[in-house]
């Protein structure tokens, strides 16, 4: 009878350890997720207006970096032209209409963009 009791207690103990190990692993995942939320929040994202994009497309076309229409959208052709322009002007090549590129093109910034 004692052997049966010890066997049952041993089995319960083993299952208890197994369950505790699984809980520890699942808690680790939730702690890892909460650690990521402690990162500083990203600031506002700089976005060019439709008019700014149209002006940039016109400048890119004048410089033969872009052959498309002035759509006001940053399509792949516009981004490729921006990369060529940025490289030619010696500024960081991003393929985006960022503040530095707009200033280099002499395209006026909005009041909000000036504060970014």
Q: What is the domain partition of the chain in residue ranges?
A: 50-114
Residue recorded with tokens 């707009």: 102
CA gap 68, 11 in Å, rounded:
74
- Model confidence at 110, pLDDT cuts 50, 70, 90, reads very high
- Model confidence at 43, pLDDT cuts 50, 70, 90, reads confident
CA angle 31, 35, 39 (to 5 degrees): 165
């Amino acid at each position: 009878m004692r052997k049966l009791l010890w066997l049952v207690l041993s089995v319960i103990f083993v299952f208890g350890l197994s369950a505790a190990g699984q809980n520890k692993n699942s808690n680790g995942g939730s702690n890892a997720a909460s650690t990521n939320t402690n990162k500083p929040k990203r600031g506002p994202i700089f976005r060019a207006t439709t008019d700014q994009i149209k002006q940039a497309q016109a400048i890119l076309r004048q410089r033969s970096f872009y052959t498309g229409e002035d759509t006001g959208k940053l399509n792949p052709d516009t981004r490729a032209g921006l990369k060529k322009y940025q490289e030619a002007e010696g500024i960081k090549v991003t393929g985006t209409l960022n503040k530095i590129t707009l200033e280099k093109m002499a395209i006026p910034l909005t009041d909000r963009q000036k504060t970014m």
